[in-house]
Structures are given as C-alpha cells and as structure tokens.
Amino acid sequence: MKEGADGTTPPDMNTLRLTSVKKTAAGIPAALSSMNHGIRKMGLTKTVRTLLMVNQKEGFDCPGCAWPDPTHRTSFEFCENGAKAVADESMKANVNATFFKKHSIAELRKKSDFWLNSQGRIAQPMILKKDSTHYEAIEWSDALDFISESIQTMDNPMRGVYYTSGRTSNEAAFLYQALVRGLGSNNLPDCSNMCHESSGKALTETIGIGKGTVHLEDFNHADLILVVGQNPGTNHPRMLTALRDAKKHGAKIISINPLPETGLQRFKHPQDYMTADFKTMQLADLFVPVRIGGDAALFKGIMKEMMKSSSYDLSFIETKTNGFSEFKASLDDVQWETIESDSGISRQMIRTIAEMCKESSATIACWAMGLTQHRNGVAVIQEVVNLLLMGGHIGRPGAGVCPVRGHSNVQGDRTVGIWEAPSESFLEKLERGLNFEMPREHGFDVVHAIRAMDADAVDVFIAMGGNFLSATPDTRRTASALQKVGLTVQISTKLNRSHLITGETALILPVLGRTELDLQESGEQFVTVENSMGVVHRSKGTLKPVSSMLLSEPSLVAELGRRLCPELLEWNQFSKNYDSIRDVMSKSLNGFENYNQRVREENGFLLPNPPRDDCQFNTATGKALFTIHSLPDLCVRKDHFILMTIRSHDQYNTTIYGLHDRYRGVHGNRRILLMNALDMSERGLKTRDIVDMTSHFEGTKRHSSHWIVVPYEIPRGNLAAYFPEANELVPLNSTADISNTPTSKWIEVSLSTSIQHLSEEE
C-alpha cells in the first residue's frame, strides 16, 4: 500500500521536550498564549477586535466548546482555547486551486495533521476525479449537480450516508435532516455517536430526558460538585470560572480522574490580573485517582457506604422514584474487596467521599468522555444518576446532572433532528411541520456506517463538517471502508485527513465559519445554537469572509434540496432569509414555538426540561428510575495495559493547533505514551524509550509503532496517548453497550520494546 493510504498519521520524528507538570491553570500564560495564537494567525488589530466579539450577545458563539455564557457578560467571555479556535478559523484562505496543483494527494498524506491544518482556510470548491492524483477547481453549480446526480442514481436511499459534526448551526442541521429524511432515510450519524451518546441513552431511561438538568446559576448554589472523567482546564476552560465562583459560594469539589489534571488543582482567572488579584485558588478539595474503568466500582462503594448510615432522602425517593429497594439490596452483594481493587481507591478515601456526599444538600455531577467512552458507558452514568437520586439531587436548585458537551452545537444538532434513531413522537411532530412522510427505519450510526461502507453498501457519503476518517476508530479499517464509497463529500473549513482518504471521486465544499458575516438576499443573517445547558441563542459572525467563494451551510443544503426534491419545501426562500427556516422549525419541533421572536430576546430562551423545571420525569412509569448494573469485567492479561486516548492542550479534536501540552509539560512531539514510573522500571523502560503497541479485542489485533514513553502520575497498569494518533488502535467492534460509542478510553494493549531511544534535546 502507498505511504499514508491507510489513513494513519505519519510517524513523528520531532524532538520531545519535557517540563514539569503545571500546578496552576489559566492565568497570564493562558492570556498570552491566546493572544499569541491569534496574532500569529490573524494579526494584532483583528485579534483584539475578534476576541471582543466572542460570546457577546450581538457577537458569535465561540466555536470551541458548548459551555454556556453567563447572563451578565464581561468583555472577556473567551478562554485560551476558544481564542485558539477563533484564530484558527480566521486564517487566510490559502488552500485553493494553486495549492492543490502544487501538492499531490500522495504528498499531502505524508504531512502531519498540524501541517495540514496550518495551511489556512479552504478557499474554493475542489474535486478529486476518479484515479486522479490532484484535486482541481470545480464550479459550485457543477459540484452540486454532481452530488445530486450521484444521489439520484442510488437504487436505495440507505446507500447514502450523511454525517454531521457538532459545529453546524440549528438552521443548517434542521434543513440537512429534512433533506435526508425527504430522500428517504434516517442515515444521520454524527459526532455525538462517539461523544455523549452514552449520556443521552443513560439519562433518557432514568430521568426521561437525554440532557443535563442544571443551569449555570446552579453552580452558585451547590454544596458539592463532582467532576468525573473530564479535563475542564483544557477542554472547557470557562467551566473553571464557574467552579471558582461555586467555591466562593462555599461549594466543595471532588475530581475523579486517573490523571491529576491541572485545571482542577489551582486556577487563576486571566481577568483577575486586571483587578490586581494575584492569588490562585485551589479548586478540587479532593482528588480521587480512580483506575481507568473503575468508576462503576467507586460509585457503588460510595453508595454502599451511604446506605450503611441510611443517608438518603426517603421522601424524594418515595414520591419521585421507582426501584429503590431492589437497588439498595443489590449493593449488599458487592464486595468491598472488588470495589477497592477495581477502582484502585481505598475504603478510607471512599468513606471520605461518602461523608462529603452526605453533608451536601445540593450536589451537581459533571462528566465527559472519561465516562461515556467505555463498554459500560451507559451503566456507569446511571450509577451517577443513582447517587444523585438517593439524595434527591435532581429538580432542586444547586443540584443535578451535568454532562458537559463537546462541540459547541452538538446538543442543538440532536435537538433539531440529527439523529439516526429518532423516536416516533419526534417524527410525528416533524411530519406536522414539514408536511411529508418521514421514513421510520432507523439509520446508521457512526460505527454502523463504517461497517456499511466496508460491505460495499454505500454510494454517497456526505460530511457536514468534521473529520470522519481521523475521529472514528480503527483508522486503517475506516480508511479502507471509505475508499469503497463512490463519492465522498466533505463540507469543510480547514484541510484535514478526510480530504485525503476518499471515495472513488471526492469533493471539498468550503463554507463560512461561525466568525464570518453571512450576507444573503434579505441582508445579514444570524444562526442559532444550543449550549450544554439547553439555552438556545443567536450567533452572528462579524468578520469579512476569508474568500468570496464560500457558501453558508444553510444555503448549501438549500441548494441541494432545490436540486433533489424541489417540490418538498420552499428551498429558495430558506437561503434568502433564515427566519423562514426558523418559522418551519417552530412548527416542527417541540419547545420551539415563536422561535424567531424568542431567540431575539437578549439571552435567547431555555428549552423545556421537565426534571429541572418541575421535578417531572417522563419515563415509562412517570418516575425517575434506580437501575442495577453488574460491575464490568476489568481483567486483562497480566502483561497487558489499559490505554485511554485523550486530548492535549493544543488541539481541538483532530485539529492540531500546536505541539504544546502545556499543563502536562509535554512539548514538540505528540506520539507520547504516559506511563506510571513503577511500570516503566518493572519493564526496564526509561524516559524517551520508543515502544510499539498492539491492541487486543476478541482475538483481533491492531499495531501501532513508534510511541515515546514518558513517566507520569497515572495508576499502575494504565496508559494514556493522544487522539487522533492512537485511533489506529481502537477496535471498531469495541463499543459501549446500548449507545454503541467506541470505547476510546478502554483499549487493551501490549507493548513491545524496540531498541530505539529518542535522544534528549540540547
């Protein structure tokens, strides 16, 4: 096979610089780092002007994470990593016909993800013709005609797959799902399938809604906040501000994580320097270094300890829940020995956590990928729900569940219909608003889509944003599956590896980003998004588009709709004025009544959330549900390790901004393997030794070479490496029960040592 054709990232031979692990997050280095990224990419004036529009009421929603904005905003509502996301989108549009003339696909495949992204914004539509070595320019109308013809010649609508990444606005996502359903399938896999799908499934069954139940304001009324399997210092830096404020109001914080992530230790808000407040604040009162996958055992231990002293809210349990007595009895069967060995946490520490839980009359539990991307992702989240239900911590101020979402509009996309397995009631409502019959057969999620491509069952694959190849598991297998598709289309802003590993024919369609002015026939447009806490609000780009050849996402979908099913909807009207899209959404979606009017209110509006608003649970029985789960089997071969794949401080998913994982003290090289020092010495490994990894799952193996060993504070038997490089090790078939999310945090691997050693930098 030709180099790079298997979709994996090329080996990284750069030097590696190690510095001490940072104790304090944010502060002056963060402020400087954000300015620095901006200035390098877009110049000083534009940097300042742009950053001052982030998350403002009349500005644009930060394309970084989905953390909500406070009602009373300062002019400083961005963080270091949001600033990087903004700067990255504002780069010059250098990726054009000249660029692709100069670089063949074969050559581009040898480049790093960092290099690909740093080439700038994509300027014009491009086509990679069958058997061609280079992309070439194509007119918009020809590209759209080509897609339409390819879809029209499919002999079954299930042969088209339509992926969405979570930056897409509500308007674009709504039109896109209407088009796909109009074409006759629910084939709408999205990044959520790899992200919070486990949260949605776990919460829907137990509390009757697949979303969190807290407001930002609740953080100021909480007594206790659990941060489980989440690294907010890097991935949701503005959450640290909420945690700081919660602490000022007297809350205690517990961080449950195999790694002592920096943000949860000491924190300094960059803005505090302006008021000459130089003190840092310790955020986490207790750090619980759980073993990877050990949370279910840990939570059972905490609840077992609380049951002993009858620490639960009986009146809440009796009036609002079902299943408590069976649940209580089930804890008797769990042995302390198993709890301690699975979690890696001593009974003494579990007792301390239980005491803190008992003392709290308002507890919030936050979590992210450390819980969702496990075989028992749904079950372990339901253990968290059990703990909150025991104390009546749902539907009460200062308390509730808080799955912290990733992409800035991933929650909104699902709300408006990006969903491969829609419920009957959702489809019925859509039918009333859209006036056509919806397909009922469930579509492919991400993993099923890859299997379908692999089985030659897909003719057309369209990706509304994202980087499907690099974000999905089993890179080599996914690459080979994608190459069996007739036409692959990437609707993108920046160059990534999915543009290089393609179907027989490939298109790149460049679109406006969040930050850019969207001018249509009726004037300047805004779009809407939903944050992690169910607030729907406006986002309006202000910067001049980087190229005159970009379409907006809603216009692009409307153009396809006009070609593919002209009689279905008023496509022409939609791109002229997005109010007309929102009018249809009002009629088609629950909670969106008077959409155009309500979303123009200063802070947008809140979607209904029965558990939070009225302590109502729309489950099968009308009550919240205690659930019982057996513990996952954590045994692996004695000489094997468990690997988790994590994000560095200088990346946004598969987009690599730079090579500094500043808080963890790792610089210059991303192919690193964090390992416990005792495990290293037991195997005779030294810092910077190079090892190969093999992952094992149900008798199958995947290999990945050239990983640099770095000693780190991580539980024994556990390893950590960066995503997307390590995705070649994630088995496609290793997915969470019920949610089918790839188990990116639980990969059984063996190591083989080569004689190589990376020399130290002078």
Which positions touch Mo ion (CB under 5 A)? 195, 406
Among 59, 200, 210, 229, binds ligand MGD (CB under 6 A): 229
For residue 325, the minimal CB distance to ligand MGD (Å) is 29
- CB closer to ligand MGD, 367 vs 626: 367
- CB closer to Mo ion, 406 vs 439: 406
Q: With CB under 6 A as the contact rule, which of the stretches 27-35, 230-238, 320-328, 624-632 interacts with ligand MGD?
A: 230-238
- CB closer to ligand MGD, 233 vs 323: 233
- CB closer to ligand MGD, 178 vs 511: 511
Among 254, 354, 401, 471, binds ligand MGD (CB under 6 A): 471
Residues ≥6 apart with Cβ < 8 Å to 618: 208, 209, 610
- How far apart are alpha carbons 378 and 367 in whole angstroms? 12
Bridge pairing between strands 252-256 and 136-137: unpaired
User: Which three-class secondary structure state does DSSP give residue 17?
Assistant: strand
Determine if 693 is a binding residue for ligand MGD (CB under 6 A): no
Cβ contact 363:357 at 8 Å: yes
Q: With CB under 6 A as the contact rule, which of the stretches 3-11, 139-147, 289-297, 575-583 interacts with ligand MGD?
A: 289-297
Residue position matching structure tokens 């799902």: 177
Cα–Cα separations (whole angstroms), residue 13 to 666, 708, 756: 15, 10, 12
Among 261, 383, 459, 679, binds ligand MGD (CB under 6 A): 261
Among 96, 119, 124, 165, binds ligand MGD (CB under 6 A): 165
- CB closer to ligand MGD, 212 vs 370: 370
Beta pairing partners, 516: 543
Report 708-737 residues binding ligand MGD (CB under 6 A).
723, 726-727, 730
Size of the site for ligand MGD (CB under 6 A): 61
Q: How many residues does the structure list for the chain?
A: 762
Determine if 552 is a binding residue for ligand MGD (CB under 6 A): no
Determine if 65 is a binding residue for ligand MGD (CB under 6 A): yes
- How far apart are alpha carbons 217 and 225 in whole angstroms? 13
- CB closer to ligand MGD, 231 vs 525: 231
- CB closer to Mo ion, 321 vs 532: 532
Picked from ligand MGD, Mo ion, none, the partner binding residue 675 (CB below 5 to 8 A depending on kind) is none
Cβ contact 652:762 at 8 Å: no
Picked from Mo ion, ligand MGD, none, the partner binding residue 254 (CB below 5 to 8 A depending on kind) is none
Determine if 47 is a binding residue for ligand MGD (CB under 6 A): no
- CB closer to ligand MGD, 322 vs 515: 515
Measured at the CA of 285, the angle between CA 282 and CA 288, to 5 degrees, comes to: 120
Report 555-614 residues binding ligand MGD (CB under 6 A).
none
For residue 498, the minimal CB distance to ligand MGD (Å) is 8
In the numeric block, which tokens belong to residue 126?
Answer: 């491009």
- How far apart are alpha carbons 655 and 118 in whole angstroms? 9
Residue position matching structure tokens 């404020």: 245
User: Which three-class secondary structure state does DSSP give residue 477?
Assistant: helix
Picked from ligand MGD, Mo ion, none, the partner binding residue 487 (CB below 5 to 8 A depending on kind) is none
- CB closer to ligand MGD, 259 vs 317: 259
For residue 724, the minimal CB distance to Mo ion (Å) is 13
User: Which three-class secondary structure state does DSSP give residue 271?
Assistant: helix
Among 7, 466, 534, 731, binds ligand MGD (CB under 6 A): 466
Site mask, ligand MGD, residues 268-287, x = CB under 6 A? --------------------
Picked from Mo ion, ligand MGD, none, the partner binding residue 258 (CB below 5 to 8 A depending on kind) is ligand MGD
Of 675, 725, 718, give the one whose Cα is nearest residue 293.
718
Neighbours of 668 (CB within 10 A): 16
For residue 449, the minimal CB distance to ligand MGD (Å) is 12
Cβ contact 469:498 at 8 Å: yes
- CB closer to ligand MGD, 496 vs 555: 496
Cβ contact 614:622 at 8 Å: no
Dmax over Cα atoms in the chain, in whole Å? 72
Determine if 691 is a binding residue for ligand MGD (CB under 6 A): no
Determine if 352 is a binding residue for ligand MGD (CB under 6 A): no
For residue 60, the minimal CB distance to ligand MGD (Å) is 11
- CB closer to ligand MGD, 689 vs 725: 725
Determine if 409 is a binding residue for ligand MGD (CB under 6 A): no
- CB closer to ligand MGD, 386 vs 467: 467
For residue 407, the minimal CB distance to Mo ion (Å) is 6
Residue position matching structure tokens 């993108």: 492
Cis check: omega of the bond before 473, within 30 degrees of 0: no
Cβ contact 84:110 at 8 Å: no
Give the DSSP letter of residue 249: T
Among 24, 616, 654, 695, binds ligand MGD (CB under 6 A): 654
For residue 512, the minimal CB distance to ligand MGD (Å) is 8
**CA quadruple 12, 119, 545, 561: dihedral, nearest 10:** -70
- CB closer to ligand MGD, 321 vs 651: 651
Of 255, 261, 266, 287, give the one whose Cα is nearest residue 367.
255
Determine if 289 is a binding residue for ligand MGD (CB under 6 A): no
Site mask, ligand MGD, residues 410-449, x = CB under 6 A? ----------------------------------------
Determine if 502 is a binding residue for ligand MGD (CB under 6 A): no
Q: With CB under 6 A as the contact rule, which of the stretches 70-78, 369-377, 526-534, 661-669 interacts with ligand MGD?
A: 369-377
Picked from ligand MGD, Mo ion, none, the partner binding residue 580 (CB below 5 to 8 A depending on kind) is none
Determine if 376 is a binding residue for ligand MGD (CB under 6 A): no
Of 63, 93, 127, give the one whose Cα is nearest residue 548.
93
Of 476, 453, 655, give the one whose Cα is nearest residue 8.
476
Determine if 170 is a binding residue for ligand MGD (CB under 6 A): no
- How far apart are alpha carbons 287 and 265 in whole angstroms? 9
- CB closer to ligand MGD, 419 vs 617: 419
Q: With CB under 6 A as the contact rule, which of the stretches 128-136, 338-346, 506-514, 674-682 interacts with ligand MGD?
A: 506-514
Residues ≥6 apart with Cβ < 8 Å to 80: 26, 30, 31, 33, 34, 237, 270
- CB closer to ligand MGD, 329 vs 519: 519
3-state secondary structure 611-630: HHHHCCCCCCCCCEECCCCC
User: Which three-class secondary structure state does DSSP give residue 287?
Assistant: strand
CA 36 to chain centre: 25
Cβ contact 445:200 at 8 Å: no
Query: Could you report how far apart the first and last alpha carbons of the chain are, in Å?
Result: 37
Residue position matching structure tokens 């790149």: 508
- Ramachandran category for residue 327: left, alpha or beta (phi over 0 → left; psi -120 to 50 → alpha): alpha
* Closest residue to Mo ion using C-beta atoms: 406
- CB closer to Mo ion, 64 vs 541: 64
Identity of the amino acid at 564: L
Give kind and range of the element (H or E) at residue 239. helix 237-248
In the numeric block, which tokens belong to residue 759?
Answer: 């020399």
The residues that touch ligand MGD, with contacts defined as CB under 6 A, are 64-65, 81, 165-167, 191, 194-195, 228-231, 234-236, 256-259, 261, 290, 292-293, 295, 368-370, 373, 406-407, 464-468, 471, 491-494, 496, 511, 513-514, 553, 644-647, 651-655, 723, 726-727, 730, 744-745
